[in-house]
Each structure stands twice: as structure tokens, then as C-alpha cells.
Amino acid sequence: MEKLIQEYAEKLPEKIISDIIENMPAGTAAAKQKKIFEAVYNEYRSSLAEPGESVGILSAESIGEPSTQMTLNTFHLAGVSEVNVTTGLPRIIEVLDGRKTMAATNMEIHLKSPYSEGKDVTVVASQLRETPFESFVNELDINITNASITAKVDVKKIEDAGSDVKKVIKLLEKGVKGYKFSEEKGIITIKAAKEDNINDLYKVKEAIKDIYVCGIKGLKQVIPVKRDDKYVILTSGSNLKDVLKLEFVDETQTVTNDIFEIEKHFGVEAARQMVINEINKVLDNQGIPIDVRHILLVADAMTSSGSVLGINRYGIVKEKPSVLARASFETPIKHLVSAALTGEVDTLNSVIENVMMNQPVPVGTGLPNLVTKGIMNPDHHHIAKEDKKAKAK
């Protein structure tokens, strides 16, 4: 068996070999084993895609055709109105577009034991949520006589959230410049450093409400959810960098659906995997069967340049070598003009240019060429001569 595995390791993909090992009944005779490997290898060989197969078009069709059946609606995660989840066609478009800003970012934060078993999940979750100053304030007034703002804060609440009043004041100072903050018995007084008019004070009063004091920036809403015996925290908004720093977070499983964030922190291979996962998630959700190979190819096409490119005129299409292929997609004039300036040469290597020229396309049966000695008709001899002359020049 070992020998066989070694022998076929080069010929068969890992997955198939492990499948064979898994399914091989115990005590199979060596001769039978060899036969099985042989049979699987033959089957594998006959299932290989042929050279010239235009797999790109195949993938595009496989994803494009069922996309008409997907739903348009975005859903609220488990019915909670603040947590939006983009699914269906809009999500597919978003992912394939390579959009930097997304309609709804979400994280799925996995926890380490014992939190994952449910210990203090709600507390942990509330520590994650981005909390503005407003939620710690009991009273917020403007004292017109001495032109100051007084805020009565709930000190205990602040401390519960893992912070203290001094830290809060520091953050506030950062948020609104040119104001002095002082604290006494849970009352924060805010005064202008210089002379100030009351109108500005009103603005400051509104501004400090939204200043974030604790939690993780960007996580607008957090919901602990039980999933297969384990608690995970779903969030609206995303901040991978800060979340992964937390010690109770299982950094091996925690993910965000923001592909660019993934790319930034984990590199392009991770981003590629994310593209695949995200598309698969939508397709599973919609119950549309598409083979992974198509999604792999799209993801590879998007990321093979080393960074995530969208499937649009600013991404993949822009990188095409052929002028006509770019021009045939969108903004043709722009491409023609810039091609003229740089004296670009279109070598007609891809499909669309040859369609335009009415020539066979270089895929499938158009790929093979035949070199023969032609019989030149004497009537046309002068043309050949002229050709030679032109070449000599």
C-alpha cells in the first residue's frame, strides 16, 4: 500500500489518494489494491479537462446563468434590525466587484474556552461594542452663566466597561480640541480654553456625545449567538486588527466579511480564500449548485496579480494586454486614445479581437495550428514577391 501511494503521489491529486485510503476496505489483497489504483488513475486521466478548453467562459456562464435566480433582498441578521447582512445577488456583485467599501461589514468572532462554552458571553460581547460617551452620561447640560458643559457620568458603568474616568477624559480631549476638561465626583466640566461663544458650545455638546470611549472601534452592534454548542459573537461593522489583539478571541477562526481587511492583515492568499468562501456562502444560502472549480477560477483570476482586483473596468479588464479587448468592454474611446499615444500593438491573442477581425479565436478547436508547405498559384506569384519586398524594407 505504502509503495502504491508513493508511486501514485505524483500522478494523482492528494484528495483522491486520501479518498482511496479512506475507502479501501481492510485486508484488500495487494494485487487488488494495485488494480484499484490503476482504475482510479485511468478514471482520473479520462476526466481531465482538455487543453484548449475555454474554462474562463465556462466559469463565467456557470456563475452568470443562475445569478438570474438569486434574490435581491438584504436581510437583517436573525431579525435584528441593526445588523444588516448582504446576501444574494447584491453580495455576489459586491465581492466580485472588489469594492473597497461594502454595504454591510460583519464579523464572526470566535471565542476561546471557557467563553466559547457560554461563560460571560454577554459581558464579553458588551466589551466589544463600540460605545460612545453618551451611553455613560446621566445628565448633560450647558451652564450658560460660566459657559461650560457639565456631564454627570455613571462612573460605575465606565469601570464595568473596563475603563476609567481619566481615560475617558483623555479620549474626549482628543475628540474636541481647544477645550478644557475637569472631573469632580463623577461630574465632568467642559470649558473652552479660550473665549468662546455659546453657539459653539452647543456644537461641542452634540459632538462629545458620539465620541467613542471604549469597546472596539467600528463594531456597531454585537450579538452572541449559539452555534453548534459554541458561542460566537456576530457583529455589525468590522475591525479585524483590534479584535485579534483581544486575548479571549480565538484568532484562528475569527473572520470578517471585509475582503480588503483580510488582504491587508493576512495577504492575498487569504483574500482569495475569502472570495471563495463568501461566494460559496451565498450560493449555499440560495441553494444554487455551482462546482467549486468555477469559483476557484474566478477568485484566482481576481487575485493572481498579487492584489485583489475587481471584475470591472478598473480591475481585471484594465490589466488586459489587448487594446481591442479593453475597448470592447467599456469606455472604448479612452482606450483607443491612450493606445494611439503609446503606439500600442494589439497582437490579437485573445477571443474578442479575433471575433472583431472575423478570424478563428485561439481557444478550443481554434487553438491548434498546422504548418504546411503551400502550393502557390502562379497567378498570385506577384503578391508573394511584393510581400517579400515589403518585408525586406
Partner 1 sequence: MVEDFIHKKVGSIKFGIMGPQFIKKMAHAKVVTPELYDKEGYPVDGGLMDVRMGVIDPGLKCKTDGLKLKETPGYFGYIELARPIIHIKFVELVLDLLRLTCKDCGRILIPETKIKEIKDELDQISKYGSDAERRNYLKEVVAGLKTIVKCPHCSTKQLKVKIEKPTTFLEDEKRISPIEIRNRLEKISDSDLEVIGIDPVMARPEWTVLTVLPIPPVTMRPSITLESGERSEDDLTHKLGDIVRINQRLFENINAGAPEIIVEDLWDLLQYHVTTFFDNEVSQLPPARHRSGQPLKTLTARIKSKEGRIRHNLAGKRTNFSARTVISPDPKLEINEVGVPRVFAMKLTVPERVTEWNMEYLRGFIERGVDEYPGANYVVRPDGRRKRITDETREQLLEELEPGLTVERHIMDGDVVLFNRQPSLHKMSMMCHRVRVLDGHTLRLNPAVCAPYNADFDGDEMNLHVPQTEEARAEAEILMQVQTQLISPRYGLSIIGCNQDAISGNYLLSQKDFKVSREEAVDILMAIGETEFSRLPNKKEVTGKEIFSVLLPTDLSFSAPNKNYKVAPEDPESTVVIKKGELTQGVLDKNNLGDGSGLLLRQVHKLYGPEKTVVFLGKIYRLGIEILYRLGFTTSISDTDLTVEGEKQVKKLVDDAEKKVQQYIKDYEDGKLEVLPGYSAKETVELRILEALNKARNDAGEVVTDTQIHSNTTDMIKSGARGNIINMAQMSAVVGQQDLRGGRVNKGYQGRTLSCFEQGDMGSKAHGFIKHGFKDGLEPSEAFFMAMTGRDSLMDTALRTPKSGYLYRRLANAMQDLKIEYDFTVRDASKKIVQFAYGEDGVAVAKSEGGSINVKKIIAETINA
**Closest CB to partner 1 among residues 249, 298:** 298
Residues within window 192-251 making contact with partner 1, judged by CB under 8 A? 223-225
Query: Which residue from 107, 109, 271, 327 is in contact with partner 1, where contact means CB under 8 A?
Result: 327
Q: Is 13 in the site for partner 1 (CB under 8 A)?
A: yes
CB of 379 to partner 1, least distance (A): 7
Amino acid at 47: S
- What does the alpha-carbon distance between residue 109 and residue 251 come to, in Å, rounded to a whole number? 8
Minimum gap (Å) between residue 276 Cβ and partner 1: 11
* Single residue of 3, 11, 53, 386 touching partner 1 by CB under 8 A: 53
Question: Which of 5, 44, 186, 285 is close enough to bind partner 1 by CB under 8 A?
Answer: 44
On whether the CB atoms of residues 227 and 118 are closer than 8 A, the answer is: no
Q: How many CB atoms lie within 10 A of CB 132?
A: 15
Cα separations in angstroms, 279 against 63, 67, 96, 173, 309:
10, 12, 9, 44, 15
Q: How many CB atoms lie within 10 A of CB 272?
A: 20
Asked if residue 48 binds partner 1 (CB under 8 A), the reply is: yes
In the list 106, 236, 239, 322, the residue contacting partner 1 (rule: CB under 8 A) is 322
**CA–CA gap between residue 120 and residue 128 (Å, rounded):** 13
Q: Contact region for partner 1 (CB under 8 A) — 19-27, 129-137, 161-169, 236-244?
A: 19-27
Residues β-bridged to residue 70: none
What's the min distance (Å) between Cβ of 247 and partner 1?
24
Q: Binding of partner 1 at residue 174 (CB under 8 A)?
A: no
Among 166, 180, 293, 385, binds partner 1 (CB under 8 A): 293
| C-alpha pair distances (Å), 210 with each of 7, 91, 177, 252, 306 | 66, 30, 15, 33, 39
- Residues touching partner 1: how many (CB under 8 A)? 121
Residues linked to residue 234 through DSSP beta bridges, in sequence order: 108, 223
Examine residue 291 and tell whether it contacts partner 1 (CB under 8 A). Answer: yes
- Residues 361/322, Cβ–Cβ less than 8 Å: no
Strands 187-192 and 212-214: unpaired
Tell me which of 289, 373, 382, 393 binds partner 1, using CB under 8 A: 289
Give the contact letters, 65-104, x = binds to partner 1 (CB under 8 A), - = no: xxxx-xxxx-xx-xxxx-------x--xx--x--------
Q: Name the minimum Å distance from CB 227 to partner 1.
A: 13
Q: Is 355 in the site for partner 1 (CB under 8 A)?
A: yes
* Site membership for partner 1, residue 268 (CB under 8 A): no
Taking the least distance from each CB to partner 1, the nearer of 187 and 363 is 363
Q: Which of 4, 20, 104, 259 binds partner 1 (CB under 8 A)?
A: 20
What's the CA gap between 171 and 254, in Å, rounded?
A: 28
> Is residue 287 close enough to count as binding partner 1 by CB under 8 A?
no
Q: Rounded to an integer, what distance in angstroms lies between the CA atom of residue 249 and that of residue 244?
A: 6
B/e letters for 242-267, b = 16+ CB within 10 Å, e = fewer, are ebeebebbbeeebbbbbbbbbbeeee
Residue 239: CB minimum distance to partner 1, A: 20
236, 85 contact by CB (below 8 A)? no
For partner 1, the closer of residues 150 and 312 by Cβ is: 312
Q: Hey, which residues between 331 and 350 contact partner 1 (CB under 8 A)?
A: 331-333, 336-350
CB atoms within 10 A of CB 1: 13
Minimum distance from residue 63 beta carbon to partner 1 (Å): 6
Residue 7 in contact with partner 1, rule: CB under 8 A? no
Place of cell 461594502: 102
Estimate to the nearest angstrom the gap between the alpha carbon of 19 and the chain centroid. 31
Residue 386 contacts partner 1 per CB under 8 A: no
Give the binding range for partner 1 (CB under 8 A) out of 35-43, 103-111, 185-193, 210-218: 35-43
> How far apart (Å, rounded) are the C-alpha atoms in residues 325 and 354?
10
Q: Which of residues 103-122 bind partner 1 (CB under 8 A)?
A: 122
Residue number with CB closer to partner 1 (65 or 206)? 65
